[in-house]
């Protein structure tokens, strides 16, 4: 494996000490336990899997905050801040949080639920009352620690990281005494030994991921059974990275920086040895079949191979569907099974919202036919379109997909399949969808519909057509256009400052499209249009006749993360030497378009913008 997968931009981490306070939010909701078939299976939020929200440092300092940077510009980071006079969360807090997720599931996946220290000890398999104080401290620490996410917090609703600063905590807590409240004790815990309970509310960002598709399923008993917190993190990370593959090769530095573990050039060999101890524990617990550490030339370039068997995939798949079944049971029966008190009805709105989404996102033949009728008429000639529509409805919902189809028909889109996929992924029809939803709402209250003016329609169509022409230009021509558009933009601003540069970077595509329209670029260069048309037509046929292995059009935080994604996709599909050659070639050209074995591969990396990975099997 090429060491180019690991460079100075690959998950750069730094630390800063400081001290600030966090706030507490409180709500009140009571529910009874549900009789679920698989209560030990929990949904772990993607952010908790991916990021070091729980420290592995056994020597944490009071009032010490840690800031983790993910790029050299230091505008992509996470900061963990304890409340004044306390530490940031560590291993014990992680174990408490896992137990809380298990109890939350028993309570019907509700965002707010009650729990006692005794229940948490039961989940740990402990009976010693001396742990009560530590449990309370950990719950409080989880609630009071503040997390600042800058361009890093993943949100399943939008299927990407929030490109903004989000200051949140994992959960909030309200401590309730039952000593002098007999009625409340009888209603919540009919046990005179319990003097105090906690009302837990999982913060909205993490909760949304748990009830939507921003999670992975783990067996909480397995996680709590892993005593070493570093081993637990390695297990969660490799479970995510390998997906269903039975082989995974990961750079040691990737794991070291994701956990993270302290290291430098002198001590890195010892750090890799600590990773090996984790591998041995995973092997002893039969969570992997075997492992292999490859040193390469230097320890900084070392890699770890993980091997799995079909039984691991069977367990993983069984857990996923078992949890999905449990969640389905909760949604189908929660009206009858959940008892509400001390709160208003809207506290259940997240579950109600999910139930409605699932109903709307279950495709029927009638839905598929409606979307097909809304598309340009040529869509009926494409055999793969019905399946594409079915998958799109599952992901985006019927109404959203229908409006995208309408948008395509209005703008007379040519490359139907490709445009449909990219319009859904990149939100090209968002303005039109917002207007259509507004129209639908006005129909309900019998308010006259908003009619888009003819000039607006013409301008929107012009922008859409210009964008299609621009997308298929060569990278060289795109670079030349971008330079000219930037010069024109600076002229309009009157000055070239860091603010103007950042504004151009953020709105680059829109600024370039506006420049192409105002300069009448394609009208002044008609040969370009002819070339585009000639290139597109045969490509459409090719796409329809080949199996698409991967079609990704997304923004990658670093070039290394882009290459690592390619590696994950191709590592078991083509020879390793050929894969190394592709990754090495990308270091110089940032674009690759060729055939390897039975695969057609098109790769294009755009720094700070959306990049493309298109892999098709002949």
Task: Tell me if 197 sits within 8 A of 113, measured CB to CB.
Answer: no
* In the chain, % of residues over pLDDT 70: 78
What are the residue ranges spanned by the domains of the chain? Answer: 3-307, 365-524, 546-617
- Give the Å distances, CA to CA, from 1 to 302, 541, 584, 585: 10, 35, 10, 14
Query: What is the structure's pLDDT at 337?
Result: 41
From the CB of residue 53, how many other CB atoms can be counted at a distance below 10 Å? 22
pLDDT digits (tens, 9 = 90+) for 225-265: 999 999 999 999 999 999 888 999 999 999 998 898 888 88
Query: Which of 346, 397, 352, 342 has its CA nearest to residue 109?
Result: 352
pLDDT category, 574, cuts 50, 70, 90? confident
pLDDT digits (tens, 9 = 90+) for 312-330: 988 988 898 888 888 878 8
The chain-wide mean pLDDT, for the chain, equals: 79
pLDDT category, 444, cuts 50, 70, 90? very low
Whether omega before 25 lies within 30 degrees of 0, making that bond cis, reads no
Q: How far is CA 112 from the centre of its chain?
A: 23
List beta partners, residue 392. none
DSSP state of 256: H
Whether the pLDDT of residue 15 is over 50: the answer is: no
Of 53-57, 407-411, 466-470, minimum mean pLDDT range: 466-470
From the CB of residue 123, how many other CB atoms can be counted at a distance below 10 Å? 21
Mark out the alpha helices in 243-289 (DSSP H runs).
252-258, 268-284
**Distance in Å from the first CA to the final CA of the chain:** 26
- Give the Å distances, CA to CA, from 80 to 47, 148, 206, 483: 13, 7, 16, 40
User: Residue 438, CB half-sphere, CA atoms under 13 Å: how many?
Assistant: 11
Mean pLDDT on 501-519: 78
User: Residue 489, CB half-sphere, CA atoms under 13 Å: how many?
Assistant: 26
Query: Which of 430, 433, 436, 416 has its CA nearest to residue 376?
Result: 416
């Amino acid at each position: 494996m090429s060491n180019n997968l690991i460079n100075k931009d690959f998950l750069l981490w730094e630390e800063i000490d400081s001290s600030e306070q966090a706030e507490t939010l409180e709500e009140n909701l009571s529910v009874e336990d549900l009789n679920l078939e698989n209560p030990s299976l929990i949904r772990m939020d993607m952010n908790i899997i991916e990021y070091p929200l729980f420290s592995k440092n056994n020597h944490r300092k009071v009032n010490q905050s840690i800031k983790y940077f993910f790029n050299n510009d230091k505008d992509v980071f996470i900061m963990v801040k304890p409340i004044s006079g306390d530490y940031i969360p560590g291993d014990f807090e992680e174990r408490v949080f896992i137990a809380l997720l298990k109890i939350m599931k028993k309570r019907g996946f509700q965002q707010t639920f009650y729990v006692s220290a005794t229940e948490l000890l039961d989940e740990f398999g402990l009976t010693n009352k001396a742990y009560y104080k530590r449990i309370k401290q950990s719950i409080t620490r989880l609630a009071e620690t503040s997390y600042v996410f800058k361009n890093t917090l993943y949100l399943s609703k939008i299927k990407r990281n929030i490109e903004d600063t989000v200051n949140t905590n994992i959960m909030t807590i309200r401590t309730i005494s039952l000593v002098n409240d007999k009625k409340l004790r009888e209603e919540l815990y009919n046990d005179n030994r319990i003097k105090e309970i906690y009302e837990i509310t999982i913060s909205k960002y993490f909760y949304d991921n748990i009830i939507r598709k921003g999670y992975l399923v783990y067996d909480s008993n397995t996680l709590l059974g892993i005593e070493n917190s570093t081993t637990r993190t390695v297990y969660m990370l490799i479970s995510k990275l390998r997906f269903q593959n039975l082989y995974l090769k990961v750079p040691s530095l990737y794991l070291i920086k994701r956990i993270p573990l302290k290291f430098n050039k002198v001590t890195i060999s010892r750090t890799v040895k600590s990773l090996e101890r984790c591998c041995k524990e995973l092997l002893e617990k039969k969570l992997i079949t075997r492992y292999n550490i490859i040193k390469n030339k230097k320890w900084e370039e070392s890699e770890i191979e993980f091997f799995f068997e079909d039984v691991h995939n069977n367990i993983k798949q069984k857990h996923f569907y078992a949890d999905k079944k449990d969640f389905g049971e909760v949604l189908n029966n929660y009206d009858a099974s959940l008892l509400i008190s001390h709160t208003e009805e809207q506290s259940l709105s997240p579950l109600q919202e999910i139930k409605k989404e699932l109903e709307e996102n279950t495709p029927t033949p009638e839905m598929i036919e409606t979307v097909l009728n809304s598309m340009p008429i040529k869509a009926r000639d494409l055999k793969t379109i019905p399946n594409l529509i079915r998958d799109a409805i599952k992901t985006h919902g019927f109404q959203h997909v229908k409006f995208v189809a309408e948008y395509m028909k209005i703008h007379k889109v040519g490359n139907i399949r490709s445009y449909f996929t990219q319009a859904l992924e990149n939100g090209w029809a968002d303005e039109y969808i917002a207007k259509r939803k507004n129209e639908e709402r006005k129909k309900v209250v019998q308010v006259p519909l908003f009619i888009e003016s003819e000039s607006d329609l013409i301008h929107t169509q012009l922008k859409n057509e210009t964008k299609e022409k621009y997308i298929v230009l060569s990278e060289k021509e795109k670079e030349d256009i971008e330079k000219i558009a930037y010069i024109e933009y600076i002229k309009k601003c009157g000055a070239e400052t860091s603010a103007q540069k950042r504004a151009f970077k953020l709105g680059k595509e829109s600024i370039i499209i506006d420049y192409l329209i105002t300069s009448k670029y394609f009208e002044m260069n008609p040969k370009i249009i002819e070339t585009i048309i000639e290139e597109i037509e045969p490509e459409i046929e090719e796409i329809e006749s080949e199996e698409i292995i991967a079609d990704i059009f997304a923004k990658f935080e670093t070039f290394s993360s882009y290459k690592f994604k390619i590696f994950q996709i191709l590592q078991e599909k083509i020879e390793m030497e050929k894969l190394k050659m592709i990754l090495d070639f990308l270091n110089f050209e940032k674009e690759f378009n060729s055939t390897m074995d039975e695969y057609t591969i098109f790769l294009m990396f755009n720094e700070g913008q959306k990049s493309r990975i298109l892999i098709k099997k002949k």
